[in-house]
A = this chain, B = another copy of it.
Amino acid sequence: MVDIASRVWNHKWKIDPIVRSLIDTDFYKLLMCQSIFRNKPDTQVTFSLINRSTHVPLAKLIDEGELREQLDHVRSLSLSRGESTWLRGNTFYGKRQMFRPDFMEWFEGLRLPPYHLERKGDQYELTFEGKWHEVMLWEIPALAILMELRGRAVLDTMGKFELQVLYARAMTRVWEKIETLREIPNLSIADFGTRRRHSYLWQDWCVQAMSEGLGGAFTGTSNCKIAMSREVEAIGTNAHELPMVYAALAPDDAALAKAPYDVLQDWHEEHEGNLRIILPDTYGTKGFLENAPDWLAGWTGIRVDSGDPATAANTAIEWWKSRGEDPRKKRVIFSDGLDVEKIKTLHGDFAGKVNVSFGWGTLLTNDFRKLVPDDALAPFSLVCKAVSANGKPTVKLSDNPRKAMGPADEIARYKRVFGVGDQVAEEVVV
């Protein structure tokens, strides 16, 4: 039987919205948002889209009108009652009331601030200016919208069965990865693939397939909406934007050198246990750990997000040992450019030495490589970053010079202040 009402209802949509909920975003965004809401509520920040894959001509592929419709739709969203109830009542990392009542009250009233969109050649300039804790919530939906609109442009000309077989192939690929992962004993892996996913429905499928295929080895998803609807754990801690903005706000070099630790000092006061995860690479992992205060060695673990992952993990292990900590009680979360082979290798190398976890991103939720002609559905390196704070530019160095961003003179200054020497360039996968 055809459900006539459903069909008529579907025809009433003017667009097929890509992002349909304010919590269709990464969990760490909400944690950071709350932290900023408390600690830096008056900071003015600009987020900007950066397409590192300049060979992908986004403005040729995506109609500006359609892009505006999708972004406008996000601006029409507000937290639903059920979403609010879930955020207030759910247990995150074993803790109830992770989100404080004052934050929730503010969040319930939030609509996302305006965006600025302009075509520049074959690319779009897309920026978000405003209060940090408001504009920062644009990052994930903006990326997801651009990635999915590009995909829709490619899928637009395909036949019904051709489409079904495309998804059949993609499903088979994900499942084969799951079958490989299933053979790794004591695996611990989560979905971190919201921002550059193929689509919401596809990410939702991947999460469910991981859940069925891996059982307890699948620890959850970074996507709050999917975590809520599929009743799995919401996963994530914090990201580079915190030290980047704190650093940009520093009035002098001494304050700059201290800024990354100030971030974690604020975090330390708000969170404990598995949420105390160091992200050390913003201005070079090595120097960051060497100069870190002792209380930071007591934190639960570290997230490795750039550079050679084994080098970073070994650096952390040596650092823990030097601070009298037992690495076997610490956690290392790998989250940079992962795919099955890298996961296997890293797990083989570090299981037993530390507790190993994986945050698997784009190559879980958007591995459509080589599935259509010209590889037109392959994921590409699109990011949306805080580029200035209170009028001052932000800088990121990371452990991979190809991921560095900021004005050249500021990059040089940061390298001097943080004592970053030569770095090994690594290919940016996605």
With A167-B168, A172-B172 known as contacts, the answer to whether A159 contacts B212 (CB < 8 A) is yes
Question: Knowing A168-B175, A171-B168, A172-B169 touch, does A161 contact B212 (C-beta < 8 A)?
Answer: yes
On chain B, the residues within 8 Å of A165 by CB distance are: 171-172, 175, 209
CA separation between A208 and B167, bound complex, in Å?
17
Contacts of A162 in B (CB 8 A): 175, 212-213
Q: Mark A158-184, 1 if CB is under 8 A from B, else 0.
A: 011110110111011001000000000
CA distance A244 to B428 in the complex (A): 70
* A160–B212 CB distance below 8 A: yes
Stretch at the interface among A3-11, A313-321, A345-353: A3-11
- Contact code string A202-239 (vs B, CB < 8 Å = 1, else 0): 00000011001100000000000000000000000000
A1 within 8 A of B: yes
Contact B9 A5, beta carbon cutoff 8 Å = no
CA distance A184 to B226 in the complex (A): 45
Of B1, B161, B171, B175, the contact of A3 (CB 8 Å cutoff): B1
A340 to chain B, nearest CB (A): 16
By a CB distance below 8 angstroms, the chain B residues around A1 are 3, 5-6, 9
How many whole Å from A181's CB to the nearest CB in chain B? 14
The complex places the Cα of A168 from the Cα of B167 at a distance, in Å, of 8
A208 to B213, CA, bound (A): 30
- Residues of B with C-beta under 8 A to A208: 161
Closest to A210 in B: B161
Closest-CB distance, A246 to chain B (whole angstroms):
42
Residues of chain B lying within 8 A (CB to CB) of residue A168: 167-169, 171-172, 175
What residues of B have a CB within 8 angstroms of the CB of A171 in the complex?
Answer: 164-165, 168
Given contacts A168-B171, A168-B175, contact A213 B161 (CB under 8 A): yes
Nearest CB of B to A174, in Å: 8
**What is the CA–CA distance of A325 and B169 in the complex, to the nearest angstrom?**
48
The residues of B that contact A6 with a CB separation of less than 8 Å are 1, 3
Complex CA–CA separation, A293 to B165 (angstroms): 50
CA distance A171 to B167 in the complex (A): 10
The 21 sampled A-B contact pairs (Cβ below 8 Å) are A1-B3, A1-B5, A1-B6, A1-B9, A2-B3, A3-B3, A159-B212, A159-B213, A160-B212, A161-B208, A161-B209, A162-B175, A162-B212, A165-B172, A165-B175, A165-B209, A167-B168, A168-B168, A168-B171, A168-B172, A168-B175
List 16 additional A-B contacts (Cβ < 8 Å) besides A1-B9, A3-B3, A168-B175.
A1-B3, A1-B6, A2-B3, A3-B6, A159-B212, A159-B213, A161-B209, A161-B213, A162-B175, A162-B212, A162-B213, A167-B168, A168-B168, A168-B169, A169-B172, A172-B172
Nearest 10 interchain pairs by C-beta:
A168-B168, A3-B3, A165-B175, A168-B171, A161-B212, A1-B6, A161-B209, A168-B172, A159-B212, A169-B172
